[in-house]
């Protein structure tokens, strides 16, 4: 898993930008350092256009803190072949926005809401959204013929609190 965006920081500065991965080659690290928010901005704009209700909580959070319109609120997490049992996320954002891309053929791999009796068959090159506070998860992937890459934009409670604390210090 890798991530890029704002995050809570245990140092005196409450938030910082980051890219998390155990070993990025110099070229990839340069992309993160100079243009790491491109995917986050793209996810936000597509969410706003195709699923307009998904970005309201991000915009309200940003506006309440008088942050700049171009500031990305939250972080983008990227995974390869992500599988997770049912869980709830401690997120401030009302909705999480995800993007799926597959190389080759990946069978199965449903996204599910057990409490609602809903399973979504994820397909390559598509976006979807979900309520992170509701129990959700994925089924086991059959990745014999390919790999699935997932990117998610969300605002965790820890990150939201850190951004608020930084905003208070700046005012």
Number of domains in the chain: 1
Give the pLDDT confidence of 78-123 residue by residue, as tens digits: 888 888 899 999 999 999 999 999 998 888 788 998 988 999 988 8
pTM, full prediction: 0.78
pLDDT at 14: 41
Residue 102: domain span: 2-170
Confirm if 61 and 113 have CB atoms less than 8 A apart: no
CA 24 remoteness from chain centre: 20
Question: How far apart, in Å, are the Cα atoms of 51 and each of 46, 56, 63, 66, 78?
Answer: 8, 10, 20, 24, 20
The structure tokens listed for 59 are 């915009």
What is the Cα–Cα distance from 101 to 10, expressed in whole angstroms? 33
| pLDDT, tens digit only, all 171 positions of the chain | 444 455 555 545 444 454 455 566 776 666 666 665 778 888 899 999 999 999 999 999 999 999 888 777 777 788 888 888 999 999 999 999 999 999 988 887 889 989 889 999 888 898 999 999 999 999 888 878 889 989 899 998 888 888 888 888 776
Of 93, 46, 90, 89, nearest to 73 by C-alpha is 93
pLDDT at 93: 94
pLDDT at 50: 92
CATH number for the domain spanning 133: value is: 3.60.130.30
pLDDT at 67: 87
Rg of the Cα trace of the chain?
Answer: 16
pLDDT at 167: 81
pLDDT at 57: 94
């Amino acid at each position: 898993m890798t991530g890029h965006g704002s995050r809570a920081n245990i140092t005196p500065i409450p938030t910082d930008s980051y890219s998390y991965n155990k070993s990025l080659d110099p070229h990839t690290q340069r992309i993160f350092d100079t243009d790491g928010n491109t995917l986050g901005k793209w996810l936000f704009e597509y969410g706003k256009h195709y699923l307009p209700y998904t970005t309201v909580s991000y915009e309200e959070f940003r506006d309440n803190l008088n942050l700049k319109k171009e500031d990305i609120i939250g972080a983008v997490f990227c995974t390869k072949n992500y599988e997770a049992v049912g869980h709830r996320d401690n997120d401030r954002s009302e909705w999480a926005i995800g993007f799926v891309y597959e190389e080759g053929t990946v069978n199965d791999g449903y996204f599910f809401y057990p409490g609602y009796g809903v399973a979504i068959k994820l397909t390559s090159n598509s976006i979807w959204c979900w309520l992170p506070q509701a129990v959700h998860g994925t089924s086991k992937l059959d990745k014999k013929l390919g790999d699935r890459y997932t990117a998610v934009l969300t605002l965790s409670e820890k990150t939201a609190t850190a951004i608020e604390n930084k905003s208070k210090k700046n005012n």
